[in-house]
A and B are shown apart, each in its own frame.
Chain A
Amino acid sequence: MHEFSLYSQIPATRHGQVLQILAGVTASQPTATFEQTLIYQQARLAETGSKKAPAGRQSAVPASRLSYHKLVRDLKGAEGENAPWTFRAEDVPLPGMPSFVSRATTEHVFGEAELEKFRQGNGWYKYINQYLATPGHRFVHNNIIIRTRRILSVPEGTGALEPLDAPIPTLSDCNLIDPSGTYYFEARIRVEDGGNSKLVEQATAELMAFKKQVEGAIDLRVPERLAFDTRVKGT
């Protein structure tokens, strides 16, 4: 699947105001979200190649294609701790796109069997880090998913247990990664098939229109492409 996104930062003092603006624009109230993301590094290439970009480049791929993958779960839902994990793989964004970030991504909900790969000692993945995204809010506006959240880092101690199974870290122990308290804003559109140019055009047009609409209130921009680089360095 292909994703087009734009980003922005919102200072803590403006957060309330921005939420109100978004509520006005989308004609809906925000849904509070609380996400936990685990970041893993591939230890070795998967044979099926399904964990990498679906573009199917696996044939002549050297080891430098090891990438970072994520497991995400939504802790706000009714299941809380037992919420299923979603696997997410992001590709490096396509170069030459000055107006938005365009990248191929894969997302699946993983069952127990696949999650095994992520546990320690299985050699497929190496756990790197994790973060919590809370407080967070989400709006859906036509086809655009808009999210604002703060990123918190998780205290060290939880590394002892398998992070997949560990209890949710207590919020009071977690520190903001960005001590200034800025919220991170993302507007994203997903297209099932990145090759369908008509869809792609429609999606990008919608994203750009949204950017225009909130211009002045929220300045959406394209961060440096390499900040999204999921390739593991040095391999």
Chain B
Amino acid sequence: MAFDKSQINALDRLRGQLAIAAKQLGSARENVVRGDPLQSWESLQGDVHFIVQNIAAVQATLEKHREFLTSLHAYPLPSFPGHTHEALLQNLLRKKLDVAPEDWVAQYSKSDPQHNADGAVGNHGIDATSDTVNYEELWSSVAEESTPRARAFVKDGAFRDAYTTAEREAGVTTVATGLKREVRKLPKDGKPHRQSPLFDLLGFKSMALEVEDGEDDEDDEDDDEGDDDDGEEREHEDVYMKDVMPGDGGEEIPEPGVDTTLPTMPMETMLRFMTTGTLPEQR
């Protein structure tokens, strides 16, 4: 033949990869069909991963030798036993895809011009899986779908209690929380209902569920939780905190004789005083 070495290698490699792909797909299919119950999702995941990897490799090879492969054309030598193995011959020479693959190709080729590598060796056409699945849509739909579910959670008071049901049953005092100080007793201060910080985030205006549309993303929820906590409950926490630190705590304790608005004395002046005893000029 008039092919050079690299081209033959390409063909060989492609053949090998396709064989592997076929085998993997076959075995995955077997697992799914045979497994009772369905096999663990980790192994499913693993299988899918391998398959995808392999197909990616196939694609890479195709891409690399695209010109060559697309211009290939198979034809039988006269020495091929055409009479005895006619069906086989038909199979080998067929270029038209089956119905289903043809539809897939049509559907996914819309978004990207994918070259339909109908290689000379292929039994069925390989549909070029489109890489450009629309992730944008997916992510934005997540927010809309999960917010109502989260709302339901909060509405049912799932987050209200600080202990799990199991802990409650066993007795709240036996729980090893690792906290050294009283964090926050349940409020007896007559507030009608202590709102969970999630309320504001999820768009609840009050206990009567007034649901806003177009809520914020879930991603920010974790950050916001911390902030909300600060505002509402910080005052309560400080009451119970016992620290060894001198209690400057962030509050400005006005001290007599100290005027923090004055500019700081330069360090050298102070050091000079400490060394020689010469007082800086009094204001």
Q: Which residues of A contact B (CB under 8 A)?
A: 7-9, 11-13, 15-17, 19-20, 23, 29-30, 32, 37, 39, 41, 68, 90, 128-131, 135, 137, 151, 153, 175-182, 184, 223-224, 227-230, 232
Contacts and interface: CB of A to CB of B under 8 A. Distances in A.
Interface in B226-264: 244-250, 252, 255, 257-264
15 contacts: A13-B252, A15-B248, A17-B250, A29-B244, A151-B273, A153-B279, A177-B273, A178-B270, A180-B261, A180-B262, A182-B265, A223-B267, A227-B267, A227-B268, A228-B275
B270 A151 contact: yes
B276 interface: yes
Choose among B248, B250, B279 the residue with the greatest number of A CB atoms under 10 Å from its CB: B248
Contacts of B271: 7, 223, 227-228
A112 B34 CA distance: 98
Choose among A17, A153, A179, A182 the residue with the greatest number of B CB atoms under 10 Å from its CB: A179
B267 A184 contact: yes
Given A16-B249, A19-B246, A68 B258 contact: no
B270 A181 contact: no
B205 interface: no
B270 A90 contact: no
A181 B246 contact: no
Contacts of B157: none
Contacts of B272: 227, 229
Interface string B190-214: 0000000000000000000000000
Contact of B275 (A7, A20, A90): A90
A128 to B, nearest CB: 4
A229 B263 contact: no
Interface in B162-178: none
Contact of B260 (A30, A32, A135, A180): A180
Contacts of B274: 37, 39, 131, 151
Q: Which 8 A-B pairs have the closest CB atoms?
A: A16-B248, A129-B277, A181-B258, A128-B277, A39-B277, A227-B268, A180-B262, A227-B271
Nearest to B267: A223
Interface of B: 244-250, 252, 255, 257-265, 267-280, 283
Contacts of B257: 175-176, 179
A199 B271 CA distance: 27
Contacts of A11: 260, 264
Given A16-B248, A177-B265, A181-B258, 19 more contacts: A7-B271, A12-B260, A13-B252, A30-B245, A39-B277, A90-B275, A128-B278, A129-B277, A151-B273, A151-B274, A177-B279, A180-B261, A180-B262, A180-B263, A184-B270, A227-B267, A228-B271, A229-B272, A230-B275
Contact of B245 (A23, A131, A180, A184): A23
Contacts of B265: 177-180, 182
A63 B262 CA distance: 41
B262 A68 contact: no
Contacts of A223: 267-268, 271
A230 B273 contact: no
A228 to B, nearest CB: 6
A12 B268 CA distance: 18
Nearest to A152: B257
Contacts of A41: 277
A223 B258 CA distance: 24
Contact of B268 (A37, A68, A180, A224): A224
A228 B271 CA distance: 6
A68 B277 CA distance: 9
A178 B268 contact: no
